[in-house]
A and B are shown apart, each in its own frame.
Chain A
Amino acid sequence: MLNSKVPAGPLSEKWTKHQFDLKLVNPANKRKYNIIVVGTGLAGASAAASLAELGYNVQAFSYHESPRRAHSIAAQGGINAAKNYPNDGDSIFRLFYDTIKGGDYRSREANVYRLAEISNNIIDQCVAQGVPFAREYGGLLDNRSFGGAQVSRTFYARGQTGQQLLLGCYSALVRQMHTGKVKFHPRHEMLDLVMIDGEAKGIITRNLITGDIQSHAAHAVVLATGGYSNAFFLSTNAMASNATAAWRAHKKGAFFANPCFTQIHPTCIPVASEHQSKLTLMSESLRNDGRVWVPKKEGDKRHPAEISEDERDYYLERLYPSFGNLVPRDVASRRAKEMCDLGNGVGETGLAVYLDFADAIQRLGRNIVTEKYGNLFDMYKQITGENPYEIPMRIYPAVHYTMGGLWVDYNLMSTIPGLYILGEANYSDHGANRLGASALMQGLADGYFILPYTIGDYLTGKLGENISTEDEAFEVAKTDVKGRIETLLTVNGERTVDDIHRELGLILWENVGMARNTAGLEKALNKIPKLRDEFWQNVKVSGTADELNPELEKAGRVADFLELGELMARDALNREESCGGHFRDEHQTEENEAKRNDEEFTYVATWQYKGKESPSELHKENLVFENVELTTRSYK
């Protein structure tokens, strides 16, 4: 049933050959096609601009007021590419290999190889747009090592790489808006997907200012709507990031892949108060120079300056002599949790470890440290009131990224014909764990260099097809959307949306977070449906449907998280192994490392929605490895 459409042939020739084999749309005919792009972050904006440059008519939608506000803007650390500028032994194959291995062998070889191939074009594209990447004194681009890579392949723009890359895409997009090839709809939220004869042919949106519910038709629909970390309430994602577009598409037939693969980032500022609304990431580039430690003695509450060198446990350096502080995210996060669980955590809550820059300041000088990390240090100080030049940072893991997402084939098409998924919204190339600086790469690869080719193959067959919003399917979907909004507004219970969302977040964090086990997952599967019922009977959403109403917007999103959260737990329970970010207590080695079960679980777990009353059905896409050997990840 699941056909990945991976082309035959040697790994390094697949994409080139595939591009040749794909059907092309004649240049003169491109203007006869309308394409809807939902989401204008890195993936959506790059896709919308590139499609318009080719001649397609694009309608782009975002709940933001401007494409420049997308969550992509917050990415700090950098973007990978296999340029091998530093001459340190990098290559396309090495980037491919590291990404596959980092993902713990739960992604598709052909996709990952293509990503590594395209990575170099992305850097060229961005530089041509005027993205001010960091440079050396000789004027050439600077690279750094990032997130566990043993080569320096990360390009960066201070601590604002996502911002600069997004502003690059945004500039390409506004240029197309100016020519009229892209019509951008700001503050419009997609609330449903419209299908005609089993294919994606449009969407229903709500104008967030007027509340107007509108239909939009097209020959194909592209979702680039980001990840679902906010299911956990507290995450490093922007406040409005949500899964609604993807979830509605799922309920219309798009399979959801590996929902339990979520990434917990090791270097975030710890929770400070019960009113905490989100968590802030400190870029993991900090781990290049910062050293992670906890006091050796349990419950040691002394000021860090009073704890001498031999009373400190630099546990990552101790456990992983070759990778040290640069072990992958999942490993670093789990070890931090373990230290805190053992009672060695620091700070008031004991839920934090130190990230210390004293050595770096001594070795490099304060100026260099400021140049590299100045804005991160400022940010930390602003939030915590403490100065990291003088006292070590306190960090703790937080939910950060979701590797799971809607299933796509090699062409980035979901199980619904005509529906394409890009960026963090798709189940993609990161397997069970994403390496640092590779989400930006993937989003831009999808948007600039993959979709613009692959979508033509689908569209050629649709020439002359006339899709109208008059079609009954649009009316039905519109009525559904309106009915749901009405219901949300009429419950008029006693709990706010945030209150229920916080509770869901806690259930997920405790049971479907960093370490999972059967008992916890079953507890989550029991609690979440109850909380969902509570929501529909006892939520209080103020205001009306026909005005700007942030409470109503949140309510719709939380209602979807309450369904998705259950699927995350179900998927985690099904996967009886530990791999990457998915750690099952029952499956670990004697040294507490993740123990994969390649015999039984070398597959993508893909879920089909079966209606409100029945559990989702599991379909498996078996992963075949022809070019790498499945080894146990070792960072010792």
Chain B
Amino acid sequence: MNDDVRKQTGGYIGQSVPRREDRNLLLGQGEFVADIQLPNMVHAAFARSPLPHATIGDVDTEAARAVDGVCFVASGADVCAELPPINGMQVVTPQGWRDRVDTDILIPDQPLVPEDKVRYVGEAFALAVADSRYIAEDALELIEAELIPLPPLAEAETALATGAVLIHEHLGRNVAAFLHTKKGDGAAAMDACPNRLSRRFVHHRYAAMPMETRGVVAEYDGRTDTLTVWSSTQIVHWVRREISTALDMPEERIRCIAPDVGGGFGGKGHVYPEDILVAWLAKKLDRPVKWVEDRHEHILNAAHSRDNIYDVEIGFDDDGRILAVTSSFLVDSGAYTPVGAGIAGNSIAHMLGPYDIPHYETDCKIVLTNRTPNAPYRGAGRPEVGFAMERAVDLVANHLDLDPAKVRFRNMIPADAMPYEVGLTYRDGVPMVYDSGDYPEALNRALDALGGLDDIRARQKTALAEGKYLGLGIGCYVEGTGVGPFEGASVKIDSTGKIMVAAGACPQGQGHETVFAQFAADMWQVPIEDVFVTVADTGQVTQGYGTIASRSTVTASGAIKIASDTVQEKAFAIAANMLEAGETDLEMRDSGIGVKGVPDMHVTWRDIARAAKPGWDNQRPDGVEAGLESTSYYEPPTVTWAYAANVALVWIDPETGQIDIEKYVEVHDAGLLVNPSLADGQVKGGLVQGLGGGLLEELAYDDQGQLLTGSLADYLLPTASDVPPIEVVHMETPSPLNAFGVKGLGEGGAIAPPVVIANAVCDALRPFKAELNSTPVRWGDVANFFDGATA
């Protein structure tokens, strides 16, 4: 099946072509924002609030201004006098979604530096610019700011309590959005279910934590009235748009570039105040300005994620067939909601996962609190809802004393039911239809990779007889990928006959340049070396969207194809003229176009490009315009559905509760794999982040709204030595929705690990009827099950 697709598309798609990005990175020749040095450049630093919630009184910047080497200091009032806030709706939801899902959305705008109050620990209340970052930080210490404490809304339930202070007074409530949706009879179906279980599931707060923090450099050229901004971002076109709005400059006079980016994972997927402020400073001071976020700032100020509470009820029959699911959940969005209802919208759409469940109803509150703003992180709403749902499926199995694997097989949508109408609406406003796949097969293969279900259960029994605890954890999910609204690409053939591709996507290590070159080389039938790819530069593509949400392979390939088709149509007309042949007698071959069956009747792209040029002696037929270039936009009809089955075997130390993962397996299907080795890397990287979230990483707040884990000594990222043996198995069911059969896979790996670990630990502790319904899974909690108990 896959080989057929590969044959159709030619030579490069489907091959593990080495990353063209690696040469620079391995030679130390990459360029990250922190590497950028410009003549006469000055450095910005931000004074950040130590309090979670406070009214800003007098801010005295005089002593700071007097420091030698300081060139500018501004309070929130100074900034607000010149710059509007960032519009709360950076991401708009389509009317189709708002029509089909009940919504009541009030997203607050975000001041670039607030003048009235600070709303989370780490929010800036002043800034300084100086000859060096050291001097700028010295100056910040001299700013005298009166911060008058307000009661902290340290968590979502506090913010919802009657009489709670309002974090954004003008909204009149601490809820940014109410969402509600339903399938079948919804909650009403629960009464008829023979068995029902209710539980609360909590998915804690953690974050993307890329190796490279955020950073911005901006340079203004007064002669041409243009701004160039380098930002470590996933969305250069949004950054350009927001700077254009704030500074009232035409978008086309602003060029935004993301140079090499050392990881983003969603945390760099929206516009932050600093993106705009640094651009503003560069223009105002008429000097290049640099700001590179340090790690402490990053942990306090770059978006956090997850942090959901789910109250779930699940109704099922005596065979374990799930009949109805209801959930009511809270998203602790922190002080602002930069990506609006995106995360919760995903959660709503993904709860039913790979299962055929007739009745479903859910409602959600996106709650404003005095925590750092919450934005999507790899998985974006799916790990959270997946934790609730996949724990609930295990609880159904435990309740009926059935194997959790068997309950899953009983409820899964079979392959012959594809395409499957889910009965819900996706975030893009389109009714959800799972397009292709074989969910039970994925779970079968995953279990086989651990030795098969029977073997696993036998080993578990033997272990228990020896006083050892072995558990099997399962987690399955589906993931809508390649979401719209669009992606842009431009394709041109230059006079040397080389193929120039630019795309609106902004990679952060994924290998887009390589993958896009694979697509273009096959589309143009040229050696891959003849394709030149530019990404993450607004100067190259008029409109782009960016690299978030497992989308770029699907959406950028679509845009490159439309642009290529447009240019090729013209190229064929010109080639027909050059070869004096009918267009239908022509074919693309050998870096050009030739007459079918006549080997030496052939012109190369170089010949055609010269023939297409404007001016004297061109060889264009009448009516064909000069030039071989097109900028095109792909608007996907809706998402393609990737999916996976995850399983793991874990051992528990009964004395310490320590969890050791013997082996973790993900069987993953993202349609046709364009570059299997990169796909493998994406899934594995995601798994490691998921395991980090499930076991180690935590943004812990105390009840006063203070963050307790503000450095990497306390926020524990998994290191190489903490990664267990991992096996990734790829299935390749093409998507029927696009020309190449591709689906997205950037996020998938990170979705299931937290619930797989929790399920595995509970499975190992079945003798104690243990339930772990919150993350992270803590050894101390595991150890408690053994205290005073004998199995």
* A and B pair up: no
